[in-house]
């Protein structure tokens, strides 16, 4: 799964009040309620790979076997997921239980359409088993509105053969070392400034840059939810990325080498290192079987460990008519048994520490770095105005990478424009 495709699925703005629903497919068309002697719970989510679809089906079958009085009717929303869900919530037609990405959670919680879950939680649900940053992504003012079903942090992927050729014995431990490594790993045989292989593949998206702010004392938004990333702290965090791209020519974008995303850029040997998520592992194993690679935690930034976390929760519709059964489903899917089935193949990683240990992911040479990072990761979210802030940042940061303006100018323009749009919308 590509991160930009995943984010495009969930990064939609505003609470829609009407309009035409995007196309969707469903395992069943009947609504929630009683179906004979069984209580029917509707579950909605976006599409997944065939392997993930099979795992989810196995998990739901195991749930129904343990809960013979409950039937789950699963629907896949195939396009514009959040547009569809927000429209249905306004119209009173949303599923009882549905997926919610962390980036959208603050905005949806603010509308009051989600069922608070604190009163449903019992001791045996074991809240302390979740990694705290992932759990708190769906918490507001002490109230839980969802529980995370899986996650990925970002790790550094590196080409072992390229490292050996460059005389590099281990991964970089600091961002400064990463810059040095990138220089040694960059290959420009023609000497024309357009490397055949970049030392590092990068992304211009805020979703891939925001975690760098905190170690420098910066932030994406202020306490009012306005953009607040244009200070000196953010410049200190991002200037090395701009310098590597514009001046040193040791970092490149996927588009610079004719690829769509970092995983493909890395797999084709056009970047010796990339910063990517767990979804990259099956992609590389399936498409580049001869590639010798491994992963490690991201290099420290300003002396601190930092990474991003992308996580999704199961949440309950506040208007559901089958809340007890809906909670039974949520508690199973995010409980130890259900999560172990769902994450058993490593396509998604478990948010519960006990499940990660049971499945051996903490010691896995490829997935261990993602598990380790979950303890200190920053969830990809920044309040209800994130879509507006993200769009403006991405546009202006791209301009800075292209040398059309300085990083300082780009961040100030992005912040000012975002806050004007936020002010107009309020």
How is the chain split into domains, by residue range?
Answer: 3-152+309-379, 154-307+383-425
Q: Taking residues 105-114, report their average pLDDT.
A: 96
Percent pLDDT > 90 in the chain is: 88
154-307+383-425 matches 3-152+309-379 in CATH topology:
yes
How many CB atoms sit inside 10 A of residue 155's CB?
28
pLDDT at 33: 53
Strand partners, 199: none
What does the pLDDT look like over 184-208, one tens digit per residue?
999 987 777 789 999 999 999 999 9
367, pLDDT greater than 90:
yes
pLDDT at 36: 61
C-alpha span between 151 and 159 (Å, rounded): 24
68, pLDDT greater than 80:
yes
C-alpha span between 210 and 229 (Å, rounded): 9
- In CATH, the number for domain 154-307+383-425 is 3.40.190.10
C-alpha span between 426 and 424 (Å, rounded): 6
Determine which of 1-10, 60-69, 115-124, 410-419 has the lowest per-residue pLDDT on average.
Answer: 1-10
* 3-state DSSP percent of the chain in helix, strand and coil, to 5: 45, 20, 35
Tokens of 93: 């037609």
Alpha helices by DSSP H, listed for 334-385, are: 336-342, 353-358, 368-373
Confidence label for 17 from pLDDT (cuts 50, 70 and 90):
very low
Percent pLDDT > 70 in the chain is: 92
Q: Taking residues 127-144, report their average pLDDT.
A: 96
φ/ψ (deg, to 5) at 167: 75, 25
C-alpha span between 63 and 66 (Å, rounded): 5
Contact in structure between 283 and 267 (CB atoms under 8 Å):
yes
Homologous superfamily of 3-152+309-379: Periplasmic binding protein-like II (3.40.190.10)
């Amino acid at each position: 799964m590509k991160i930009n495709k995943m984010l495009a699925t969930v990064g939609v703005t505003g609470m829609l009040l009407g309009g035409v629903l995007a196309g969707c497919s469903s395992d069943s068309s009947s609504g929630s309620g009683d179906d004979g002697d069984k209580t029917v719970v509707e579950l909605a989510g976006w599409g997944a790979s065939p392997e993930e679809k099979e795992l989810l089906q196995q998990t739901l079958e195991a749930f129904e076997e343990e809960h013979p009085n409950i039937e789950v009717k699963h629907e896949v929303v195939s396009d514009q997921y959040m547009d569809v869900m927000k429209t249905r919530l306004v119209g009173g037609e949303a599923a009882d239980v549905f997926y919610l990405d962390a980036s959208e959670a603050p905005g949806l919680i603010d509308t009051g359409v989600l069922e608070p879950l604190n009163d449903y939680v019992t001791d045996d649900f074991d809240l302390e088993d979740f990694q705290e940053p992932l759990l708190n992504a769906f918490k507001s003012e002490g109230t839980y509105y969802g529980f995370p079903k899986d996650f990925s942090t970002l790790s550094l992927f590196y080409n072992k053969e390229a490292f050996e050729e460059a005389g590099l014995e281990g991964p970089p431990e600091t961002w400064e070392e990463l810059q040095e490594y990138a220089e040694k790993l960059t290959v420009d045989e023609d000497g024309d400034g357009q490397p055949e292989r970049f030392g590092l593949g990068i992304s211009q998206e805020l979703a891939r840059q925001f975690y760098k702010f905190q170690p420098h004392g910066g932030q994406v938004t202020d306490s009012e939810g306005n953009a607040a990333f244009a200070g000196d702290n953010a410049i200190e965090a991002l200037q090395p990325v701009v310098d590597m791209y514009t001046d040193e020519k040791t970092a490149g974008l996927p588009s610079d080498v004719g690829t769509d995303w970092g995983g493909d850029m890395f797999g084709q040997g056009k970047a010796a290192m990339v910063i990517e998520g767990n979804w990259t592992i099956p992609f590389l194993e399936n498409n580049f079987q001869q590639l010798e690679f491994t992963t490690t935690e991201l290099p420290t930034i300003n002396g601190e460990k930092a990474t991003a976390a992308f996580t999704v929760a199961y949440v309950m519709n506040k208007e559901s008519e089958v809340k007890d059964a809906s909670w039974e489903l949520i508690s199973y899917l995010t409980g130890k048994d259900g999560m172990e089935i769902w994450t058993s193949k490593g396509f998604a990683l478990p948010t519960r520490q006990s499940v990660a240990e049971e499945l051996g992911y903490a010691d896995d040479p490829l997935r261990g770095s993602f598990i380790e990072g979950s303890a200190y990761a920053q969830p990809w979210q920044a309040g209800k105005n994130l879509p507006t802030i993200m769009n403006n940042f991405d546009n202006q940061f791209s301009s800075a990478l292209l040398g059309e303006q300085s990083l300082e100018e780009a961040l100030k323009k992005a912040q000012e424009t975002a806050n004007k749009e936020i002010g107009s919308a309020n």
